[in-house]
Structure 1
């Protein structure tokens, strides 16, 4: 073996040792262990704070009013769904649930469609005044909702939509549109222009390019903003209370508030807890099934 070859082998061995040292898992320091332990303890405490009230609400939804006041922290004597049946039929929460599904579903479809189209135009085309429109959309995020309650009330009253589901749908769309445009703007802005130009070369129109090429590429952003809008609109309370005074058109949030305050201490507490479970179950289902997609979409959007 020549000296040159021996030197090369020595260099390679040195590199191998350096690579092995770099790839070897680093032992955590004392401060890392302290931070990790503290974080786990805080998360465990926070989980208990969140989970225990949900479990207590679930157990109370199977109790009678007497059981709730006599033994609030024990298991129910019977697991019969009587409270759920009463809440759904006797106290009209079934109709309120249907109203909520209609309002949130239609508003979500409209705000996603209009928000995606608006964000696409603002991000991909040099339209005169596009920056001004975008900044006005951002200004809408900073405008407190309660300041618009009185003007919205008289506007809906003037067009005959006060206390109706279409009026509430229009208000929900206007409420969620600025956030949707702001969130989707960065996704459409980061898409490669070469794909858009290739669609034009193939003879695709602007509408076909948007719906069949660009919109599917922004699916992560659409999924994330759709889930966030669903959670915000489903839990909306101030807008329906102020703009939906018709009792037959109540949604779940204002229905529960009216039910809880209607009879004071004589309210059916078991049915009230059952109504709370009916209200939060759809939100939990949506979050459980889409939490991975939500986390991935948000991280992808922020990394861009």
Structure 2
């Protein structure tokens, strides 16, 4: 082997293989091609099944009820926002949207703060009973929500928080906390102990080490679990229906159900479809803007 070839191999092995005629590319077998083709067909069908109803709902949100029944699959005769204005003001979806933002926003901040602190302590410190606490958190993931409705009703009633937004916030936090702790536990567990010890050597307290050193290092996991919690809390239906019967404090999910069933067959379907778009738009926007961060965070968490 010449000196030039050795140098080329050291600098660019891939180019050396190409020039040497030994570039071995992975060849797909007929079975691989069949699996790939079937996968693409299935994913295409699935995408059509998901996208077409959403597109139909969006188009129907610009139509009147008469036009929806006369031409359900046609384009709107006039593209106007009357249905959105009606849903937002006349049917009080503006107030329900505000209630949802308050409840979900406050619950998300609390559950991320408490969940991160709990996961950090369980993952980084040998606290007596920490394994028991961790397994109880895992047990909370398997506990069906509907079994807790009756106890929650009387607990919130005794605390004076029934039919209130603070009561709904606390309930959301309680049910989202086990998942948050379970998800963040592996992230904090995988962080190097040398950095934590270096912070102690520099004189940092436990609180400062957590908030300024360890928490920023777990940012990928925090981002992923925050997005997942947002999606779950925004779409929560059973808890607000059972624990929040005051119409002035309705959230979007129960407002949608009440709107669809209140008038029977005399529903304003144009406004109803506009309300659906108002309800799902924040979820879609959050996922569209943060999907790369979510996928990368989940991949990083599973590879550790």
Q: Which interval holds the TM-score relative to the shorter structure? A: over 0.9
Cα 1:43–1:21 shift into 2, 3 Å = farther
1:261-280 pair list within 5 angstroms: 261-280=261-280
Give CA-to-partner distance per residue, 1:57-78, whole Å, 9 cap, x none: 0000011111111111111111
CA–CA distance in structure 2, aligned partners of residues 138 and 282 of structure 1: 29
Counterpart in the other structure of 1:45:
45
TM-score (norm 1): 0.94
Q: Alpha carbon RMSD of aligned pairs, Å?
A: 1.9
Q: Could you report, residue by residue, the CA deviation over 1:164-216 in whole angstroms, capped at 9, with x for unpaired residues?
A: 00000000000100000000000000000000000000000000000000000
SS in 2 for 1:270: helix
Tell me by how many angstroms 1:32 deviates. Answer: 1.2
1:258 paired residue number: 258
| 1:44-69 superposed Cα distances (whole Å, 9 cap, x missing partner) | 11110000000000000011111111
TM superposition shift of 1:27: 2.4
Is contact 2:17-2:23 (8 Å) kept? no
SS where residue 258 of structure 2 aligns? helix
Q: How many equivalent pairs are there?
A: 296
Aligned to 2:151: 151
Write the distance in 2 (CA, Å) between the matches of 1:176 and 1:219: 18
Partner of 2:60: 60
| Partner Cα separation in structure 1 for residue 17 and residue 275 of structure 2 | 65
Which position in structure 2 is the counterpart of 1:295?
Answer: 295
In structure 1, runs of 5+ residues without a counterpart are: none
d(CA) in 1 for partners of 2:22, 2:125: 47
State the alpha-carbon separation in 2 of the partners of residues 34 and 89 from structure 1.
53
Return the alpha-carbon distance in structure 1 between the equivalents of residues 24 and 167 of structure 2.
Answer: 62
1:224-243 equivalence runs, <5 A: 224-243=224-243
1:285 CA displacement: 0.3
Distance apart, 1:26 and its partner CA: 2.1
Flag the 1:132–1:21 CA change in 2: closer, same or farther, 3 A. Answer: farther
Separation in 1 of the partners of 2:267 and 2:157?
Answer: 33
Partner of 1:184: 184
